[in-house]
Every structure is written in C-alpha cells, then in structure tokens.
Structure 1
C-alpha cells in the first residue's frame, strides 16, 4: 500500500463533479462512475487512476512500524493548525507534455503549504527501492531534481514544485494535444478563470500496486483555533 497527501476539492464541489465526469471516476466513491468519452479515454489513464488532485506529498510506502491511522491522525493535527489558501483564478496549461489546471499566479502561501506538508510527513516514508528510483527516470532529471529525489523520494518538490491538477497523460502528438486541449477548455469552461480555495487536504491510498487511488479521509483547515477539525472518512 502507498499513501499520498493531496489537495482535492470537497466531494460536492462543482469542480469535483467536472473532474469525475472527465475521468469517469470519483476518488471519493472508489468506483467507476461511467465510461469516459472513448475519444478521450486513451489520454487519461494515469490521472484517472490517481484521482483528481494536486500533489502536496507524493505517494510513498509507509515504514513497517507506521500505521495508516497514525498518518491520518497526523494529517488531522496538521490541518487543524492551518488557514486556507486562495487561488484567485484557475487556468488550463500544457506543462511540458500534459494538461493540468494551474493557478494563473502562484503565491508564496502555496509553496509554504507544499514545503510544510513535504517535511512534516516524511517521517512516515520508507526509503525508496532501486526500482522506485528507476521509475522516476533519474537520467532525465536535473542535478537539483536528482538531489531532491534522493532526499525526499520525489524530484518535483520545494524549488521544483508547481501546484497543478493533472488532467491527461503525456500528449505525444501535436494533433492530439490540440484536440484534447479543445475538449478540456469546453469541459472545464466554468472553472477556468474562477477562484479555488485550498481549504484542506486528503489522505489518498493505493491499496496495491497498480490499483486506483481512493480517498481514505479528508481534513479541512480550521485556522489554528480550538475547534475540532472537520474530517470526512470515505
């Protein structure tokens, strides 16, 4: 089993429903909602399996002496001490070769959230195996990315972090990128240019290698006050 700390909008949010319709599955429900558009299906296999999210702590194997409950309890405490981060407007971007929803303008608060999540949960991570390192294609990474991979088990952290919510696989052909990009702009039209509040984090799990990720629990930020953090176990 692997765990990950992701942001995803609430279960009943319009953006969650748009993403579930695009992927054909909802990570909250743990089931395939419907068959995706057959013309789109070949381009969404990877992000559909991972579920709609933005990565704050990339998937990791738990140390043998760590339980999922410990991680969940730590996430509840972590979220209880934080305030929300507002993204003023979302846009659609082609990042290298895949499409994602990204902030029109990143803020220091997003980078701070990523850094704090990365460092706070690393204590639960088992060291990556040589096979796991190899899957990150270290030969293609920059020197800094390689250092981060060795230190944190993932290369795109800290200075390499960019908040994004992945919507497609890598687009190999320009004609496919153009066609899928047009479909995305139409499908997510109501979300583009709209604000998005980062108001909590979710614990996603991959039950077994290659299985679809699903949401184990969500915890909303409660601003560091004395109220009990709102949690949702699914």
Structure 2
C-alpha cells in the first residue's frame, strides 16, 4: 500500500484497551479498517477528529517523506532507533480533560515517556519534508508561545520536547456543557487501565490519501539504558 504520511505512535497491544479504543472511535488502527462504533447518540460526531488517527499516543507527529527517501528507509531507521531506546514506565493511565477534549493521560512521573518521544522526534526528523507556509500559518493560529514557535520552526510541530504531553485522544473539542456528560460515559465504559503503564514498543503507522492511519509495523524498545538517540541524527 502507498502512504501519503507517516507517524510514530504508541498503540496499545491487542486486548481490552485496544478493543475499546477502536469501538469508541469507530476505527481500528491495528487492522486499518472501520469497525462498529459504540451505540451512543452523538458519539460519531464528537469523535470525527480523532477517528482518522485511531486510538494512539503520538510520539513523532505525522510527516510527509522528504524527497529521495522511502518507506523502507524510514522503517530501517525506526528499527535502529528502537534498538537503542530504553522502554519507559509510569504509574498508570487515567481519564483526563485537556482543555475541551478528553484523553487518557499518564499518572505519576512522565520523564521516561518524554524521553522516548524526544528521541523519536530527533532521530527521525531527517525524514520529514519541510512544512509548507500554509501548514505553518495554520499551526500559528493556535497562539503559540515563543518556545512552541521555536519547536514549530525546528521540528515542524509546536508540541514536542518540553511542550510534549503524552495523551491518547478520545474526543474532539467539546462544549463546557457536554464535557461532564461524555466524561461520565467514558468512565462507565473504559476497561481496567494499565497500572503501571509501560511504553515498551513504538509503532510505525501510515495514512493513505483518505487521511486514515493504520499500523505498518511495531518495534520493541530494547535499549539497555536511557541514553538518547541523538547520535543517530
């Protein structure tokens, strides 16, 4: 299959959490196909934005390949990266509000998760085609801080490095009135969340012309220390 964009995600392993995420969003990123969505009035509408990405945590934001580089090149680099980067662990996952959307976020110290994401951003940035002026302008409409602006110009995305926050999105933007309703609906339906939560593999995913992401390959993180992958850049 030909892909227009690629990303490095955390995708939960086969099991209750992955099954729930697919059914909640109506898209199974593991299989790359639509699945029956939970029967809740309004759910289709509030999950339209996250549906095309599937249930995941972003580590390296979506990118278009730079001219002269291929999916094979990228896959080899992700494999080499995973062999150098150590797994990360935190206390668990919990349901949270991030602004006006709902997501699973880590509980406890997050330094390890931030380290893994930073290594993915640094080591794989040579594959990223430069963002267009229109893409940069669109990002700036959010009102970026000076540090986020520096991230945007350096890495093509504002919310990386010190501005990274691991999350697994479960809704689009909600009204203040709707937030409690959907938070309660999620709490009623979420399976048991992992305690602790281990980020011990990364996933190369791709999106076709329809913009919907699917798993290409998983890579176990097998590094023996917290050494950064900066040397791979």
Q: What is the TM-score of this pair, normalised by structure 2?
A: 0.89
Residue 49 of structure 1: aligned partner: 52
Give the counterpart of 1:58 among 51, 56, 61: 61
Q: Does 1:101 align with 2:138?
A: no
Encode CA deviations 1:106-127: one digit per residue, 9 max, x unaligned: 3321121111111000000110
Residue 34 of structure 2: aligned partner: 32
Of 210-219 and 114-123, more deviation after overlay is shown by: 210-219
- How far apart, CA to CA, are the structure 2 residues paired with 1:94 and 1:40? 17
- How far apart, CA to CA, are the structure 2 residues paired with 1:139 and 1:183? 29
Kindly report the root-mean-square deviation, in angstroms, between the aligned alpha carbons of the 2 structures.
Answer: 1.7
**Alpha carbons 1:86, 1:198 under 8 Å: kept:** yes
Q: Classify the secondary structure of the residue corresponding to 1:146.
A: helix
Q: Classify the secondary structure of the residue corresponding to 1:140.
A: coil
Residue 113 of structure 1: aligned partner: 116
Q: Does 1:122 align with 2:125?
A: yes
Residue 221 of structure 1: aligned partner: 221
Structure 1 residue 164, shift from structure 2 partner: 0.8
**Alpha carbons 2:151, 2:159 under 8 Å: kept:** yes
Give the counterpart of 2:73 among 67, 70, 85: 70
Residue 212 of structure 1: aligned partner: 212
Residue 184 of structure 1: aligned partner: 186
Q: Does 1:164 align with 2:167?
A: yes
Question: CA separation of 1:60/1:92 partners in 2, compared to 1, >3 Å: closer, same or farther?
Answer: same
**Alpha carbons 1:22, 1:187 under 8 Å: kept:** no
Residue ranges of structure 1 left out of the alignment (5+ in a row): 226-234
- How far apart, CA to CA, are the structure 2 residues paired with 1:3 and 1:39? 30
Residue 22 of structure 1: aligned partner: 24
Q: Classify the secondary structure of the residue corresponding to 2:52.
A: helix
**Alpha carbons 2:93, 2:197 under 8 Å: kept:** yes
Task: State the aligned residue count.
Answer: 221
Q: Classify the secondary structure of the residue corresponding to 2:192.
A: coil
Q: Classify the secondary structure of the residue corresponding to 2:177.
A: helix
**Alpha carbons 1:138, 1:146 under 8 Å: kept:** no
Of 135-144 and 153-162, more deviation after overlay is shown by: 135-144
Q: Classify the secondary structure of the residue corresponding to 2:31.
A: coil
Q: Does 1:150 align with 2:164?
A: no
- How far apart, CA to CA, are the structure 2 residues paired with 1:168 and 1:36? 13
Of 215-224 and 67-76, more deviation after overlay is shown by: 215-224
Q: Does 1:199 align with 2:200?
A: yes
